[in-house]
Structure 1
Amino acid sequence: MSNHAVNILKTELLSDNWYTLNNVTFELQKADGTWERQSREAYDRGNGATILLFNRVQKTVILTRQFRMPTYLNGNDDGLLIETCAGLLDQDHPEVAIKREAEEETGYQLTHVSKVFEAYMSPGSVTELIHFFIAEYDGSMKVSEGGGHAHEQENIEVLELPFSHALAMLADGRIRDGKTIMLLQYAQLHDLLG
């Protein structure tokens, strides 16, 4: 299906409170050549980046824990979620943005990061494309306690965990964040921590 198989007819702004929620009415050309009218809501919060920090010698990873209201509303008892460091690009290049986010959230100042892939995490309703990174860290890179910015209402706990412990948390369901699962499995598949 090419880009010419979609005709956007109308975009209606439903909310512009935190990010943007639009209702898009469009025509989609089906495989048999006929056109079908559809309407979908699309939430646009911009694109983002996430990173797994790992220490090959210590066999540890840096993760974060913070409150996520949508998970609380969907049955996550305390609303806390264990995640890889992440944030929005805010018009920056993905590599610049993830270095900024890593320092703000974890307190580690990174000089080199490696992009491993990118993915849409919820393509049925959210426009966001996430850029996935990995980077090695050690104690010399620690420049602050991290925790995010209070003015952005961030209250982030930094976790340094043995990689084996993080994998156990993945297996028993304590880690349920998609981007974190993907990066931990990437590290395991590529034997990043030996």
Structure 2
Amino acid sequence: MTVGVDEPDQRGRIGLDRVGLDLTGNPRVRVTAVELVASGWHVLRRTTFDYLDANGAVSSQQRETYDRGNGATILLYDAARRTVLLSRQFRFPAYVNGHPDGMLIETAAGLLDDDDPATAIRREAGEELGVDVGELQHVFDVFMSPGSVTEKVHFFAAPYSDASRTSGGGGVAEEGEEIDILELQFDEALGMIDDGRIADAKTIMLLQWAALRGPFAG
């Protein structure tokens, strides 16, 4: 018995070694084998596939993919006051890869788990920033690191006000979260991209969208 294959892992999953074997959308790709490399909270697979190139030659290739599920993120804004509501929290992967202190400024975000994207991002906005989100605007969906990570992130935006800030936020302590809430002038937030104080991809994308096509365009 192998955990994640024929024995449930800590999240109750089995058959993790079969993901991708039934793919038929691209006739030039035929998956031949899937190896479960690691199955912790997230999943690492090594997949072997035959690839038919433009010259008609077939080669056998391997890719390792990290599957952490899909996620959602949201830019909360007050158009009248020209402010945005962001979070700041410790991110060890950034810290170990050269960020000075690992404290990243970000839009609220989280994994979908078993929820749909809209439900998930409402949950995350409440937990992290203390905001009860009203009407959502779907902005776009993005594969953030398609060379190795399967995650697709659903991007949203929504207005906030003093009335919608119904709790203290700060994250879920039981999950090790300790989140600072930052209310910034939008122009200041844009400047923080230029000087490197905001270095998170999803946050940069949503701030740039807000400036070009969103609530602060024009």
2:132 maps to which of 98, 103, 109: 109
CA distance in 1, matches of 2:49, 2:180: 43
CA distance in 1, matches of 2:169, 2:50: 47
2:68 maps to which of 29, 42, 45: 45
Cα deviation, residue 193, structure 1:
2.9
Cα deviation, residue 90, structure 1:
0.9
1:36 maps to which of 51, 59, 69: 59
Cα deviation, residue 98, structure 1:
0.6
TM-score, normalised on structure 2? 0.86
Which of structure 1's runs of 4+ aligned residues deviate more than 4 A? none
Cα deviation, residue 15, structure 1:
1.2
Cα deviation, residue 153, structure 1:
1.3
2:106 maps to which of 83, 87, 106: 83
Higher relative contact order (CA 8 A, sep 6+): 1
Q: Which amino acid aligns with 1:156?
A: I
Cα deviation, residue 112, structure 1:
0.9
Find out whether 1:140 has 2:163 as its counterpart.
Answer: yes
Unmatched segments (≥5 aa) in structure 2: 1-24
CA distance in 2, matches of 1:187, 1:124: 27
Find out whether 1:168 has 2:191 as its counterpart.
Answer: yes
Cα deviation, residue 27, structure 1:
1.1
Secondary structure class of the residue paired with 2:31: strand
Provide the residue aligned with 2:44 in structure 1. Answer: 21
Contact 2:134 2:158 in 1 (8 A): no
CA distance in 1, matches of 2:49, 2:96: 31
Secondary structure class of the residue paired with 1:37: strand
Cα deviation, residue 191, structure 1:
5.1
Relative to 1, partners in 2 of residues 1:19 and 1:109: Cα closer, same or farther, differing over 3 Å? same
CA distance in 1, matches of 2:216, 2:27: 46
Q: Whose Rg is larger? A: 2
Contact 1:50 1:132 in 2 (8 A): yes
Higher-helix-fraction structure: 1
Q: Number of residues paired by the alignment? A: 194
Percent of residue pairs identical? 52
Contact 2:34 2:46 in 1 (8 A): yes
CA distance in 1, matches of 2:72, 2:151: 10
Cα deviation, residue 73, structure 1:
1.1
Cα deviation, residue 173, structure 1:
1.0
Q: RMSD between aligned alpha carbons? A: 1.3
